[in-house]
Amino acid sequence: MKFTLGIEEEYQVIDPVTRELISHDQRIVTEAAKTLNEQVKAEMHQAVVEVGTNICENIQDARAQVTHLRKSISTIANDLGFKIGAAGTHPFSEWENQSITPNPRYDEIVNELQDTARSNLIFGLHVHVGMADKDMALHLVNAMRYFLPHLYALSTNSPFWEGRNTGFKSFRSKVFDKFPRTGIPGVFDNYAQYENYVNLLVKTRCIDNPKKIWWDIRIHPVFPTLEVRICDVPMTVDETICIAALIQALVAKLYKLRTQNLNFMVYHRALINENKWRAGRYGIDGKMIDFGKEEEVETKLLMREFVDFLDDVLDDLGSREEVEYIFKILENGTGADRQLKVYEETKDLKKVVDYITEQTISGL
């Protein structure tokens, strides 16, 4: 198995003078599409640009593509008089002042979801891992749910919302929780059972297509992939690549166990949600629950155990260096920790925005 990757990142479009989110009237998308084709997309809010890699053969390919996309979008944005930023929420812009992109699909979502859609001014990272066998993909999704809070804690990058320090390391998922069909999914015994669920929702007009299932992890409705959607968009390329490498290694490890007739424990959603809440609130600084031991453990210690668990697949994937960047994150803090540090030192949210826009293109 190759475990190919696909990475999607959502960027903020920022006015360099006011540091507010600003509508770019899709000018960045129009310009970028000339060279990046389908790799750049408009989003519901006009202050968002979404990019996606092509299929990446390995983590080094993924790094090259994510770097190229960030660099290209940043250059185009600068030429048009904007900046881009990678953080899960903007520190002080208010969603009430942001324009929605005119598009029948978005009109329909806003019409149905009202203020939950209008206020959904958040920026995420989605990582796809190639898995054509749907039953295998479903088995892996069931097992991977346990590790979603670990990945989420590492990505936390949204401590501010509408000018307030929320007290959360990631407020983004609190905003998204207002949508239906979000969060940690339940367990499905097989793909047929999952298909029955989707068909029932379509039949009863809860959804018109399975793309409207927005769980933290899902089998992608179009691509032959499973998709992890729980993470805030990380501030730097290094962090994005580390998290993507962890997700790829996790798929490879659980696949290996399954093919050796071994299984990872599948835990109840209610239990995993306890860790998700802690991850959003404390990031990597708190404790999470080790359900095997039935006790609280420092999150940073669990992260080290997580890397140990993945150890035997890293060399085959060629991703040891990328995965071990996790130790740098544990040492330097997540995007949220660094945003909060800048705010503590300056008491100025505009300075936080400046830090985000600098870090977004750092090292490119």
Sorted by where each begins, the domain ranges of the chain are: 5-360
Contact 87, 233 (CB under 8 A): yes
Residue 81 pLDDT grade (very low, low, confident, very high; cuts 50, 70, 90): very high
**In this model, does residue 66 exceed pLDDT 90?**
yes
Range 261-289 average pLDDT: 96
**In this model, does residue 112 exceed pLDDT 90?**
no
What amino acid is encoded at 21 in this protein? L
**In this model, does residue 99 exceed pLDDT 90?**
no
Q: Other C-beta atoms within 10 Å of 294: how many?
A: 7
Determine phi and psi for 39, rounding to 5 degrees.
-80, -5
**How far is residue 364's CA from residue 357's CA, in Å, rounded to a whole number?**
13
**In this model, does residue 111 exceed pLDDT 90?**
no
Summarised one tens digit per residue, pLDDT across range 299-355 is 999 999 999 999 999 999 999 999 999 999 999 999 999 999 999 999 999 999 999
Range 40-69 average pLDDT: 95
Q: How far is CA 354 from the centre of its chain?
A: 22
Percent of the chain predicted with pLDDT > 90: 87
Contact 31, 18 (CB under 8 A): no
Give the predicted TM-score (pTM) of the model: 0.97
pLDDT of residue 109: 83
Summarised one tens digit per residue, pLDDT across range 188-200 is 999 999 999 999 9
pLDDT of residue 195: 95
* Among the four given CATH numbers 3.40.50.10470, 3.30.590.20, 3.40.1110.10, 3.40.640.10, the one describing domain 5-360: 3.30.590.20
Summarised one tens digit per residue, pLDDT across range 142-180 is 999 999 999 999 999 999 999 999 999 999 999 999 888
